Amino acid sequence: MHDLTTIVAEIAEEMQAAPDRGRRADYIAPLARVDVGQFGMAVVNADGQMFTGGSADELFSVQSVSKVFALTLALGRVGDQLWDRVGREPSGSAFNSVVQLESEQGIPRNPFINAGAIVVADVNLGRGRSRESIGEIVRFVRYLADDDTIAVDVEVATSEQETGYRNVALANYMKSFGNLRSPVEDVLALYFGQCAIAMNCRQLAMAGRYLMAAGLNPTSGHRVVSKARARRINALMLTCGHYDASGDFAFRVGLPGKSGVGGGILAVAPGRASIAVWSPGLNAQGNSQLGTLALERLAVRTGWSVFDRGDALPA
Ligand code: DON
């Protein structure tokens, strides 16, 4: 039987020593200032035990990892109608790419590329105000993580409001196809607000437990989503969660995962564990360089890859 305490501690140590740490996301000013030398990791297993390594209590900007929680809320609001407005195929393109939107009539490929997440934000906004909808997603994440201290980093949100030209372009373009209902400014205020939620690895791993636990919140025993919905969100994370590196992430790690340009990744070993890793240096596709490497090592050492279940070690 593997010892998670040792595995997590060893991986954290290996990552501290790793020479190639990737590059920070410098297009969001506050993210360009984060110390690239940091690494954190938290694993919460099906019994609720928590294993941490490195800077697991350091807050970081969750950025696109928030798209998982936003998608969960949107599916709760409109159910399968969401799929009339967003696809569920990998894009094979960069997270902020505009190229497919023209030929595909303003329907984004999936809910995890920026365009798809902006449509999801439009759904979550409904007829409400951005501020209230940001509050709703923060409360949802607090509930999932069982932690009322989680909040939005206003400096990060403001910075993206000021310089998020690509997202403004994507939103206007989709609006021109009639795929956004609310004003572009309001939808983007929600989108930037949710991306600017700050969490640490411990909190993020806790928040992902419902995806490990077939839709249940293990703290309260309440159902967050149905078993089928948890399975489908995991499927989307596996196929689309790392943009044009989703295939490579499946090849190397083999777990549903969602990355963010803050350097965080939430990964799910269904039935076994919810895992958060963080290291601010990114690879060429905008996913955490060391976060991916750490998850690859964790999956190998635990046998947790979803493609490895035949000879998986006992949990
Ligand atoms: O919209 C953006 O560009 C950022 N707020 C989020 C992008 C992101 O995290 C992509 N993930 N790797």
Read off the pLDDT of residues 153-208 as tens digits, 9 standing for 90 and up.
999 999 999 999 999 999 999 999 999 999 999 999 999 999 999 999 999 999 99
For residues 135-147, give the mean pLDDT: 98
- Mean predicted confidence (pLDDT) in 229-238: 98
* Per-chain mean pLDDT for the chain: 96
Ligand 1 close to Cβ of residue 259 (< 6 A): yes
Interatomic CA distance for residues 278 and 146, integer angstroms: 20
Indicate the top mutation candidate among 23, 26, 62, 63 to test ligand 1's pocket, ranked by most ligand atoms within 8 A of CB.
Answer: 63
Which of 130, 243, 258, 306 is labelled catalytic?
243
Query: Is 311 a residue whose pLDDT tops 60?
Result: no
44: left (phi over 0), alpha (psi -120 to 50) or beta: beta
**One of 86, 261, 277, 306 is an active-site residue; which one?**
261
Is 64 catalytic? The answer is: yes
285: burial class by Cβ within 10 Å (0-12, 13-18, 19+)? middle
Does 67 participate in catalysis according to the annotation?
Answer: yes
Cβ(167)–Cβ(114) below 8 Å? yes
Catalytic-residue membership of 258: no
pLDDT of residue 54: 98
Per-residue pLDDT, 219 = 86
Q: What is the pLDDT of residue 213?
A: 98
Residue 314 has pLDDT above 90, yes or no: no
**Cα–Cα distance for residue pair 228/209, rounded to 1 Å:** 15
Pocket lining: 195 vs ligand 1, CB cutoff 6 Å: yes
Question: d(Cα 201, Cα 70) in Å, to the nearest integer?
Answer: 19
> From the candidates 34, 67, 182, 259, which is the catalytic residue?
67
pLDDT at 313 over 60: no
DSSP H or E segment with residue 40: strand 40-45
pLDDT tops 90 at residue 315: no
Query: Which residue, among 46, 53, 56, 48, has the nearest Cα to 7 in the 3D structure?
Result: 53
Residues contacting residue 230 through CB under 8 Å, at least 6 positions apart: 210, 211, 213, 214, 215, 224
Task: Evaluate if residue 83 carries a pLDDT over 60.
Answer: yes
Q: Is the pLDDT of residue 68 over 90?
A: yes
β pairing state of 264-269 and 40-45: unpaired
98 included as an active-site residue = no
Which 8-state DSSP code applies to residue 79? G
Tens of pLDDT along 276-305? 999 999 999 999 999 999 999 999 999 999
**Is a pLDDT exceeding 90 seen at residue 42?**
yes
Residue recorded with tokens 């290291």 = 279
Which residue in this structure is represented by tokens 């309440």? 222
Query: Residue 173 catalytic?
Result: no
